């Protein structure tokens, strides 16, 4: 398969990820508090699906692992927003089952999967491990967001979500530079400003006497 085609898939995924951050950032700047727009989660799901394909075509286990974990967090947030039930039942079944089918395929074809993802002469094991740790850290933000939102009873994006985002993003950029992956570098670099700005907005709104919560549902 053409490398240009593979890179195009990755760039499209990162474009959608950047678009979700732009949507969330603009909404939060207007409200002067950190919001969790429905469109943010819709774009996240579409981008995650594409990036999983990119990771498979590029033989990058770190990318695939990170996206498979966060995918269902996106679905949970869409359910919390009431947007998931608005999709046609057939579409919900397809979207929900895609990661399960992918994981089943990996295990049913484990020999080929292991060779494709892990036994690569030009990629040392330590780098794969570092990439997985970076992706896990980055994905941890959505696990934390899911836990925090369940306690709050609504979909929210707390300040710690953005702090974890900055930490994980720095690790992934380091990994991407070593692997010479322009898609990951571009995608992560564009999020740095948004992560930092949301931390500032979150702390600023939490200091307001009449604002008891630093994150609100849209």
pTM for this prediction = 0.74
Express each pLDDT in 117-165 by its tens digit.
Answer: 665 556 777 887 888 788 788 888 889 999 999 998 888 899 999 999 9
CA dihedral sign of residues 12, 16, 17, 19? positive
Express each pLDDT in 87-98 by its tens digit.
Answer: 899 989 988 887
* pLDDT band at 1; cut points 50, 70, 90: low
Confidence check: pLDDT of 212 > 50: no
Check if the beta carbon of residue 65 is closer than 8 Å to that of residue 91.
no
Identify the pLDDT of residue 40: 92
State the Cα–Cα distance between residues 212 and 210, nearest whole angstrom: 6
Q: How many domains does the chain have?
A: 1
State the Cα–Cα distance between residues 70 and 88, nearest whole angstrom: 22
Confidence check: pLDDT of 209 > 60: no
Mean per-residue pLDDT, 184-213: 75
Express each pLDDT in 163-175 by its tens digit.
Answer: 999 998 888 888 8
Structural domain of residue 46, as residue ranges? 3-217
Express each pLDDT in 27-67 by its tens digit.
Answer: 988 888 888 899 999 999 889 888 888 877 877 766 777 77
Q: For 85, which DSSP code?
A: G
Q: How many CB atoms lie within 10 A of CB 100?
A: 11
Identify the pLDDT of residue 182: 81
Q: For 206, which DSSP code?
A: H
Confidence check: pLDDT of 2 > 50: yes
Identify the pLDDT of residue 102: 73
Identify the pLDDT of residue 58: 77
């Amino acid at each position: 398969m053409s490398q240009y085609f593979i890179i195009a898939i990755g760039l499209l995924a990162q474009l959608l990820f950047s678009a979700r951050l732009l949507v969330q950032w603009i909404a939060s700047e207007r409200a002067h508090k950190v919001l969790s727009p429905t469109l943010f989660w819709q774009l996240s799901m579409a981008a995650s699906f594409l990036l999983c394909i990119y990771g498979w075509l590029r033989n990058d286990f770190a990318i695939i692992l990170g996206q498979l974990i966060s995918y269902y967090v996106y679905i949970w947030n869409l359910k919390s927003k009431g947007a998931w039930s608005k999709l046609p039942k057939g579409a919900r079944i397809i979207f929900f089952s895609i990661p399960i089918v992918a994981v089943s395929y990996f295990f049913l074809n484990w020999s080929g999967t292991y060779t494709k993802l892990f036994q690569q002469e030009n990629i040392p094991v330590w780098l794969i491990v570092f990439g997985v740790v970076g992706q896990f850290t980055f994905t941890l933000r959505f696990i934390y967001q899911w836990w925090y939102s369940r306690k709050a009873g609504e979909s929210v994006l707390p300040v710690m979500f953005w702090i974890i985002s900055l930490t994980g993003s720095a690790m992934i950029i380091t990994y991407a530079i070593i692997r010479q992956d322009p898609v990951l570098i571009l995608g992560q670099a564009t999020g740095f400003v948004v992560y930092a700005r949301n931390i500032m907005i979150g702390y600023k709104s939490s200091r307001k006497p009449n604002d008891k919560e630093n994150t609100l549902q849209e």
